Amino acid sequence: MENFETIALIGKYKSPEIAGPLLDLANFFEQRGRTVVVDPLTAVHVGEHRRLVLPLEEIGRQADLAVVIGGDGTMLNIARTLAPFDVALVGVNVGRLGFLTDVSIDTMFETFADMLEGEYIVEPRMLLHAEVRRSGGRVMDVVAFNDVSVNKGAEGSLIELEVLVNGQHVYDLRADGLIVATPTGSTAYALSAGGPIVHPSLSVLSLVPVCPHTLSNRPIIVSAESSVEVLVQNAADARAHFDSHSHCELKEGDRVVVRRYPDKIRLLHPSQHDYYHMLREKLHWSEKPGR
């Protein structure tokens, strides 16, 4: 059981409506003897307050727990930054789906009271490290939580890719693109493209073609220890996307190399967390069709 002596509160960017819940949480934790810190962007929205303001990297060094108040996009951004510091993260959902931010704002005080007593589930989540290589050099180096994708651009023409795993040729792909997804990302863009839902406890990568010209090009699962290489063979306009937070224009001959990132994220869930219940709720699996 961790004591969580120093707790960081991080709110959704450009969302002043999080000020009230965030200050309420700050008071809640301080009444229980915890030190509360906030990041600079969050501090802008909460007005007058007495908490220490620290950059995210310093939060990573000092905090035992980071509470993210927002949606999955906010959690993705924060997780990438804090991953090297092994800070536990928990999300309070004020977004839409909430695959990663699964604490309800309506019950957050009861949930955090339980967590401070040691009643929570720890779930490690893997990340990706991606490089874009061009003419023997490296033009981009980035960490992603959900996925790395290579897609056609604004011109709309299909792109041609060669896909290799651990240096072995897998297939040539003519398609709108290819997604390399973590288990976390399997319920994001990869799911929309027809990829499988992968339980987050598994150590695998999903390779999911986007609208392949040859229908026999299907999603495949490979070990997370694999090195996945995507070679741009023919593309008038192609781009690499990393969690949709950063992008890189690609040229023919470029290689996008994706591997597991050495550090993991530690997500905390309420003790009653049930992954399959979450899927049923978010994806409406239990709804009966209308008559």
Quote the CA–CA distance of 111 and 122 in Å, as a whole number.
14
Do 51 and 26 meet the contact criterion of CB atoms below 8 Å apart?
A: yes
Enter the tokens of residue 116. 């401070």
Do 194 and 205 meet the contact criterion of CB atoms below 8 Å apart?
A: no
DSSP state of 185: G
Across the beta sheet with 177-181, the strand order is 220-223, 204-210, 177-181, 147-152, 238-242, 246-250
Q: Which of 39, 72, 243, 254 is catalytic?
A: 72
DSSP state of 90: E
Query: 39 an active-site residue?
Result: no
Q: Which residue has tokens 């009444």? A: 31
E strands, 5-99, where? 6-11, 35-38, 52-53, 65-70, 88-93
Query: What are the residue numbers of the active site?
Result: 72
